[in-house]
Amino acid sequence: MSRPTARVLALLELLQSGGLRTTAELAARLGVDERTVRRYADHLLDLDVPVESVRGRHGGYRLASGYRVPPLMLSDDEALAVLLGLVAGQRAGLMTATGTASETAAAKIRRVLPERLGRRLDAVLGSLTFTVPSGRSPAPETGILLSIADAVRHHRPVSIRYIAADGRRSERTVHPYGLVAHSGRWYVTGEDRATDAERTFRLDRIAGARTLPGTFDPPAGWDPAERVLSGLATAPHRHEVTVRVEGTAEHVRARLPAGIAIVEELPSGGGPDPGSEGGPVAGSEAGPVAGTERWSRVDMRVERLDWLPAVLASLDRPFVIERPDELRGLVSAFAARLADSARRRPPGV
């Protein structure tokens, strides 16, 4: 394939990803000047590919709405990769509202796989276990997901119709900084222009999304995943929990990852006085962590406390409960049940 032809096809692939692409962006991606991009667009028009030219400051090229791409030719490896991706998406709960689309797409690819490869794939899927939750979560509309993803990529503001958890409806203008998929749900994080505040919105609660004119500059060093996880960890809940754990933040985060807890490693001497009345409540009888006497502060906001005693015990480190007092009773009861079970003997022994 000649180099110009390859670049014309590369231009088609870029346009097929959706949205408006500026001439400058296309020139940079293809490694040519803007005049050459216009010539390549003319080549696509000669091939009856409906490329639309948009003039103006934010103009460029896009494919006409409704254009269907030709049939794809996938190698065995490519078909296998796509099918595994579809299955993983289904089991992870990362579906759009038209969830059947992934099922029908997987069925079509499965039908065209060679019988030998199909049998091997069945063996993989039959022996594969996913550790992510498989429950169905509310899914966003496909059009909303694609519109917001395009706005994130090209730094364009969007107008959204949002339905809050309590049913209140509002229309907001948002500068979207990033999309995050977490625990089967989609989130968009960015700036709410009405309040100039950072916000995170669930995509399944967005009833409509419309891209607005203009562009914006996202803040440098922005980490959408970290913002979403820290927001989930600090969201209002029924109980506010604070615990100090003897160990490094890395050790604690292995059991209490972002999205569940905010973990802050304290400076030396930040632990409680072991001889005081509120001294450490041992998660185990293990000694200090080898080579460290560091303590970490753990803050959580949770709806229920009943699952925390087992998690705190799994840390295998001494800890001190600062709040709430109700958690102390639950930990004591959990420890008593463990001790009672340890004393029991099998029948006949």
**How do the pLDDT tens digits run along the chain, 349 residues long?**
456 788 888 888 888 777 788 888 899 888 899 899 999 999 988 888 888 988 877 778 988 876 666 656 666 677 777 777 777 666 666 666 555 666 777 777 777 777 777 776 776 666 555 555 544 556 677 778 878 888 888 899 999 999 887 778 889 999 998 888 776 678 888 898 888 888 888 888 898 899 999 999 888 877 877 777 776 665 666 788 899 999 888 888 887 876 678 888 888 766 665 545 444 444 444 444 444 478 999 988 877 888 889 989 988 889 999 988 899 999 999 999 999 898 888 887 6
Domain 239-341, second-level architecture? 2-Layer Sandwich (3.30)
**Tokens (6 digits) for 29:** 């991606």
Distance CA 204, CA 138 (A): 6
Residue-range domain boundaries for the chain: 3-63, 76-127, 142-221, 239-341
Residue type, 226: E
Could you tell me if 311 and 332 are in contact, meaning their C-beta atoms sit under 8 angstroms apart? no
**β-bridge partners, 301:** 240
Q: Residue 232 and residue 12: Cα distance in Å, rounded? A: 40
CATH architecture of the domain with residue range 3-63: Orthogonal Bundle (1.10)
Hey, CA dihedral for 174, 179, 181, 186, is it positive or negative? positive
CATH class label, 142-221: mainly beta
